[in-house]
Chain A
Amino acid sequence: MKNAVYIAIAAVLLLLMITLGTYQFKGDYGSGLTLSSELVPEGGTLSLNEPSDSVVPPDFLKMKPIQPRQPYIVIDCYCNKLYLRTADSVLLEADCSTGSGAGLYDTVSGRNWQFHTPKGVFTVHTKLPNPWWRKPDWAFVEEGIPIPRVESERLDNNMMGDYAIGFGDGYFIHGTIYERLLGIAVTHGCVRLSADKLRELYHRIGIGTRIYVY
């Protein structure tokens, strides 16, 4: 009986030691940054007035800082380039236009806007074919015309191209009628692409695809 107790204690200790020993061998590599590809389908919450150099919106602190396994979109605001890439290869490269950084002040209402593309990590929220643009107030303030009271007067079916990829808080990757300006930061915060690159991107990504903007 005593022997059985000894053997049981020894077995438990042995198992414990082997587990600890294995852990020491393994170190912390079992939970490396590259081992997970979890995608959280939540987008950014920056408003148009948020400065572009703000930190990642709080929503993204719920995400894991990882190297995604799925293809992801990268937007370089300095070079005005968009990439669809994986960890080790670039699948698509395109000239784009990002936020100009310009400011706009409405003397009537006292509101002001800063047209930055928000930096940080986002995910694709929506994929829209044949999108219509609902012109926000700043579009009318910028043109110096009164803000319409009728909703239909805000709608424009020409400006956004064939597709729009939404990444939260009214920001989209979309087409443009000003393709000549691609490569220059001229937008109000959205990201413009040429029609062919936009079509390719639209069909290669899904809801939840991560977007890294820097």
Chain B
Amino acid sequence: MYIRRHIRIGRIVSRGLRLFLLIFLCLLCFGCGGGSEQADPTNDTATSIKEIEKRLALSGHVYLIFDFNQMEVSIKLFGAAVRDCKFECDSAALDEWKSSLVSKPIIEDSVISFHLSSAKAMVGERELAIVAEVSQVSREEIQRFMPEEMVLYFGQGRRILIKTDAEGTPVSRLANLGNWFRESADAVLGRADIELRMSGPDAMALYGVVREVPKIIIKP
């Protein structure tokens, strides 16, 4: 009787131990998995960059990634980097810019408009005249510009000013005046902006792309 009672107690303890072990292992596995995601926000960020980028890549249109940590703008098409434009900017301005973007680690946006203030014309007048006549294409379509200064406007009033060392001339004084009013209004409204300096050829490639109003990803 005494031995049988001990055996029953032993079985109960054994089952209890097994159940405890099972619950412990469950908590260990799921706990670690869930915890790692919460503890490491860079995982979420990387995943969301990948998801946004995959969507933009599948659109078949060119898109831009502004990376303020790597200090470069990547021009990408169908997932492949087609050009990387390195830039420099003032560190204090960069901090202020980043602080204006704190709401999200990744910002998906698009270039709403752009303004080319001054630029270097890449095709000489004589060649332009000959080519325009032979190909029967307007001079405006044949001409290419290397920006000296241009402004890109994004959503929520964000603005990026790009400057290069190219020796340009004003493209349109009237349009520049209009843009000055717009910038003044933005300054009064306290909208975020930053000035980037990059090479002329990189800015030219970027200008060629922004004319197609691309989607962008901003990594603050």
Known A-B contacts A55-B60, A100-B142, A183-B122; A76 and B29 likewise in contact (beta carbons under 8 Å): no
Total contacts A to B, CB within 8 angstroms? 139
**Of B29, B50, B204, B209, which is within 8 A of A20 by CB?**
B29
A212 and B22 in contact (CB under 8 A), knowing A24-B37, A78-B205? no
Q: Given that A14-B25, A102-B135 are known contacts, is A214 also in contact with B209, CB under 8 Å in the complex?
A: yes
Considering only residues 154-213 of chain B, those with a C-beta below 8 Å from chain A are: 201, 204-205, 207-209, 211-212
Measured CA separation A197–B54 after assembly (Å)? 33
What residues on B are CB-neighbors of A196 within 8 Å? none
Contact status A21-B29, CB under 8 Å: yes
Task: Say yes or no: A79-B50 contact (C-beta < 8 A), given A10-B22, A25-B33, A214-B82.
Answer: no
Residue in B30, B61, B211 whose CB lies within 8 Å of A21: B30
Which residues of B from 73 to 121 have beta carbons under 8 Å from A? 75, 77-83
Within 8 A of B (CB), among A72-88: 72, 74, 76-81, 83, 87
Q: Which residues of B contact A17 (CB under 8 A)?
A: 25-26, 29-30
Q: Contact residue range for chain B?
A: 35 or more
Supplied contacts A64-B79, A83-B82, 19 more A-B pairs, CB within 8 Å:
A17-B26, A23-B33, A25-B33, A27-B37, A29-B46, A32-B50, A33-B50, A53-B212, A68-B80, A76-B83, A79-B204, A101-B141, A120-B78, A121-B80, A183-B122, A184-B131, A185-B141, A186-B135, A212-B82
- Cβ–Cβ contact A76 & B205, under 8 A: yes
Interchain nearest-CB distance for A201 vs B (Å): 16
Residues on A lying within 8 angstroms of B by beta carbon are 6, 10, 13-14, 17-18, 20-25, 27-29, 32-33, 53, 55-56, 60-61, 63-68, 72, 74, 76-81, 83, 87, 100-102, 119-121, 181, 183-186, 210, 212, 214
Closest CB in chain A relative to B187 CB, distance in Å:
31
Partner of A72, one of B80, B123, B127: B80
Distance between A5 CB and nearest chain B CB, rounded to angstroms: 11
Residues of chain B from 27 to 42 with CB closer than 8 A to chain A in the complex:
29-30, 32-34, 36-37
A32, A55, A212: the one contacting B61 at CB < 8 Å is A55
CA–CA, A60 and B81, complex, Å? 17
The answer for the CA separation of A194 and B164 in the assembled complex, in Å, is: 29
Q: Which of B37, B53, B57 has most A Cβ within 10 Å?
A: B57
CA distance A212 to B61 in the complex (A): 11
B136 contacts chain A at the CB level, 8 A cutoff: yes
From B18, B82, B122, contact of A6 by CB (8 A): B18
Instruction: Specify which of B22, B47, B77, B142 is in contact with A214 (CB 8 Å cutoff).
Output: B77
Please name all residues of chain A whose beta carbon is closer than 8 Å to the beta carbon of B209 when the two chains form the complex: 78, 214
Give chain A residues whose Cβ lies under 8 Å from the Cβ of B216.
none
